[in-house]
Amino acid sequence: MRVGVPTEVKSDEYRVALTPAGVRELVDAGHEVFVQSGAGVGSAIPDDAYAAQGATITPDAAELFGAAELIVKVKEPQPEEVTRLEPRHVLFTYLHLAADATLTRALMASGATCIAYETVEDGRGRLPLLAPMSEVAGKIATQAGAFMLEKPLGGRGILLGGVPGVSAAKVMIIGGGVVGMNAAFIALGMEATVYVFDRSIDRLRELDIAFSGRADTCFASTLSVEQLRLMKPHAVLVDVSIDQGGCFETSRPTTHSDPTYEVDGITHYCVTNMPGAVPITSTYALTNATMPYVVHLASAGVARAVAESPGLKLGVNVAGGQVTYAPVAEAVGVAVAPVDEALAAIAA
Ligand SMILES: NC(=O)c1ccc[n+]([C@@H]2O[C@H](COP(=O)([O-])OP(=O)(O)OC[C@H]3O[C@@H](n4cnc5c(N)ncnc54)[C@H](O)[C@@H]3O)[C@@H](O)[C@H]2O)c1
């Protein structure tokens, strides 16, 4: 199959969807790979590094989309990219369509088969293509919080780990999933006093073992979480879940160029694409997870790949002009079509 990797065009996006290692895997499996010139620059990967593994470097997006059948990206396609999509294309990328009816309808109109990273599941119902970005965001959350606690940045002026004779700062983490566990590991590494709240006792059990008792695990009841109201002046609140709307009444989305604002004396950090701050780490973390799926799609073709992988099948959001993922169909207000039927209609 001919696999294409465009340069990301969304603002502040420096990741790329394939590394030279991915090119090598695909070329060794007998596929052709096209990489748009400059696609890897934001992640410190020059064109030459792709070419050395057998990729053809294309000068622009028009040629890239023209040459490729399977298009691998990072962010949802921007309007100029949507216009380049055709029924012969398979698009594999983050889509987040439930929140974007306009994009969903545009992708339906393109006729392309669109597979969303964020709805692909593994055999245990986990989200393997979201997890790497949650790991990165969790680690950044503590780093960013620690930094914003510094007085010149408007923070309380307290060192997370304290020093001998002076107490450490307290870090309260609500939700001990992938983000929360990674945030806790960094906070523990910085020698803060750490509390992790979750509604799942099973998860708290797993965390207790993972932290070897170094963090307090707490059941998240309304009463226990209410102490947030008692946050000290110039404390810092990092709302990682802001990409899904956030979990605090006072949260609103911010960007890396202006990451914080203050409400009632509390610094809020609510950056929606936290992994974008560390594109080199994020590119490798993402592509390590996506690469086996890319190779499978390229080698088997989309119909056989989804028949062989029920988890990948859950990633198919749009095919043959129809929405094939129920939560997106419901959010956008269109009928859902079975994946197999939609793909069969394309093949016919
Ligand atoms: N801002 C960003 O750049 C960025 C990056 C990655 C992920 N995220 C977001 O971070 C959030 C967490 O992602 P994740 O991968 O860790 O998810 P996850 O499913 O692994 O973890 C969520 C955890 O929260 C717990 N939980 C749910 N409701 C709760 C409640 N009311 N009180 C306490 N705990 C509760 C769950 O039991 C689970 O353990 C998601 O909203 C995700 O979209 C944001």
**pLDDT at residue 168 in the model:** 97
**Which of 133, 241, 252, 256 has the most ligand 1 atoms within 8 A of CB, as the residue to mutate?**
241
Residues 57-78 have a mean pLDDT of 97
Burial 234-261 (b: 16+ CB within 10 A, else e): bbbbbbbbbbeebebeebeebeeeebbe
Atom of ligand 1 nearest to the CA of 174: 33
Distance from C-alpha of 38 to C-alpha of 321, rounded to nearest angstrom: 32
**pLDDT at residue 284 in the model:** 98
Choose, from 96, 234, 268, 296, the residue flagged as catalytic. 96
**pLDDT at residue 139 in the model:** 98
> What spacing in Å lies between the alpha carbon of 127 and ligand 1's midpoint?
12
Atom of ligand 1 nearest to the CA of 127: 15
268 belongs to the catalytic site: no
Average pLDDT value over all residues in the chain: 95
Pairing of strands 90-93, 70-72: parallel
Residue 28 scores a pLDDT above 70: yes
Residue nearest (by alpha carbon) to ligand 1 atom 42: 241
Atom of ligand 1 nearest to the CA of 239: 1
Residues 302-320 have a mean pLDDT of 97
**pLDDT at residue 244 in the model:** 80
243 belongs to the catalytic site: yes
Residues 136-144 have a mean pLDDT of 98
For residue 135, what are its two tokens? 């790991």
Residue nearest (by alpha carbon) to ligand 1 atom 21: 177
59: helix, strand or coil: coil
Residues lining ligand 1, judged by CB closer than 6 Å? 130, 133-134, 137, 174-180, 197-200, 203, 220, 240-244, 272-275
Residue 184 scores a pLDDT above 90: yes
**pLDDT at residue 223 in the model:** 77
**pLDDT at residue 228 in the model:** 62
Residue 229 scores a pLDDT above 80: no
Residues 290-311 have a mean pLDDT of 97
Cβ-Cβ contacts under 8 Å for 64 (sequence gap 6 or more): 4, 5, 6, 34, 35, 36, 58, 71
**Residue labelled with tokens 């960094």:** 186
> What spacing in Å lies between the alpha carbon of 133 and ligand 1's midpoint?
12
Flag whether the pTM goes above 0.85: yes
Q: Among residues of the chain, what percentage have pLDDT more than 90?
A: 90
340: helix, strand or coil: helix
